[in-house]
Amino acid sequence: MAIVPETLTRRSFLLTAGAGALATSSALAVPFYARRHGSPSFSHGVQSGDVDCASGVVWARTDRPSEVLLEYSTTESFTDAARMPLLDATGASDHTVKALLRDLLPDQDIFYRFTASDPYSSHLVSEPIVGRFRTAPMRDRSVRFVWSGDTAGQGWGIDDVGMKTYSTMLRHEPDFFIHSGDTIYADGPIPDEITLRDGGVWKNRIVTDEKRDVARTLDEFRGQWKYNLLDDHLLAFNSQCPTFFQWDDHEVLNNWSASSDLTGDRRYPDKDIHVYEARARQAFQEMTTIRYCAEEPGRIFRKVAYGPLLDVFFVDLRSYRSANRSAADHDLFGPRQAAWLRRELAASRATWKVIACDMPLGLVIWDDYTKSVGFEGVADGLNGPPAGRERDIADLLTFMRDNAIHNVVWLTADVHYTAAHHYDPSRAVFKDFLPFWEFISGPLHSGTYGPKPLDRTFGPEVRFIKSSKGGIDSNLPPSAGLQFFGLVDIHGASREMTVRLMDREDQELWRITLPPVLSS
């Protein structure tokens, strides 16, 4: 593929992508009226993700069975575009297609274009749909990314404002976005309206049949994703910024684990939580740009190498955990994931190692808040030596200390507020680790809650927090102004990492610059 250097900001691309698509479509030989009437169309925009120095995953969905042409180029005009073999959008994958683009040049703008045609009538061709991303660098250039979690939860759906946080994040032109879990709320129906405490009414402008109830069937789980992809802010974001996905609990059911008891829940006809987990996992793989793992299909933990300054390690605290209600040993990572994480951290030569985690480490999160029982999170609330799931974290932290693995930062969401936590052995009950930072952000577009109590096992200290007050001020709507994301800059020359905690109005709430420990 010919490489033609071209400078084009993400913002200018958004303005020109539609015109470019129309210009390229006009080159097709079939007249417009014949070509468009009865033709397939793309129903939920485009997405890209899991981008590294030489590859990236792209995604689209058609409204019916189609043959999909995928082209990609280093120029917006698609000069000398490369073509992938035709992709089949079939009912087996809910008419989604995704592909891994390989052998790309580092630090290069990549434009990609999908065109769908009727498999039985070749003259029925869709309008093209266009997206872009930039590959990771192989040099020490500055890197910027954002992270957050929790989309369309607690009944707060697409109102007249929409999921504005996505547009706010896009203004910063990030290289990529980490979605830290609760990517959908499969257990959270969206009503037409919600009466607010002040007597006002929140009106969900868009409500689909699949979002009026909890997800049970595979199609209903898919429908949770399709609902989010009806938001204009999210569609524009996806066309320009890659998303690196992980999941937490609401992709299946609140606080799900092997001990989830559906016996008394009339919403779920099958009482085996693993039935719904399997459907949710299939929908997650179909509807996101997560890479396929041949050795373990459906696997979510992985590493994305983003150049010499950054490796991102995505962990999965949900799939391998022991039962939340069990008093026995509490597994968190599972043996395979734990071994993988140690091995990859030890092998990493990137300056910064970001562990993208779907839950905070030091906050007490009960499985049953009304009785303060069960272990939904890592911390057990006993403020003592590591026990239960804390042992998995303690073993990992000691491994990092013993192997001189520095510059590790944890990023997470889950609790629906934003905070900065510093962990230090001088304050901790367990002392065999190096000090580190954990930054929390979210929600993107969900209810906001009050702060959780700290567990002292690993010595966390709150350096910043912004949340609702809790109690009667729990589950505040997005309009209350407590929607958050994090913004990270790694400077190419100094290699310093600056972390900023932001709100959806783009107000900077707090920041810190972390100098790296450089190896001799």
Q: What pLDDT is recorded for position 330? A: 80
Q: For the segment 271-305, what is each residue's pLDDT rounded down to a tens digit?
A: 999 999 999 999 999 999 999 999 999 999 999 99
Residue 407 has pLDDT above 50, yes or no: yes
Rg of the Cα trace of the chain?
Answer: 23
The per-residue pLDDT for range 166-205, each reduced to its tens digit, is 999 999 999 999 999 999 999 999 999 999 999 999 999 9
Cα gap 378→338, rounded to integer Å: 15
Query: pLDDT, tens digit, for every residue of 112-151?
Result: 999 999 999 989 999 999 999 999 999 999 999 999 999 9
At 191, list the tokens: 């009503």
Question: pLDDT by residue (tens digit) across 74-123?
Answer: 999 999 999 999 999 999 999 999 999 999 999 999 999 999 999 999 89
Extract the tokens encoding 116: 């769908």
What pLDDT is attached to residue 327?
A: 61
d(C-alpha 457, C-alpha 394), whole Å: 9
What local confidence, expressed as pLDDT, does residue 22 receive?
35
pLDDT at 36: 61
Q: What is the pLDDT of residue 18?
A: 42
Q: Does the pLDDT of residue 368 top 50, yes or no?
A: yes
All residues at 6 or more sequence positions from 184 whose CB lies less than 8 Å from its CB, including other chains: 151, 152, 224, 225, 227, 228, 250, 251
| Residue 425 near residue 390 (C-beta atoms within 8 A) | no
Phi-psi region of 154 (alpha: psi -120 to 50; beta: other; left: phi over 0): left
Q: CB under 8 Å to 457, separation ≥6 — which residues?
A: 362, 379, 380, 382, 383, 384, 385, 386, 390, 394, 428, 429, 430
By mean pLDDT, which of 130-139, 373-382, 508-517 is the weakest? Answer: 373-382
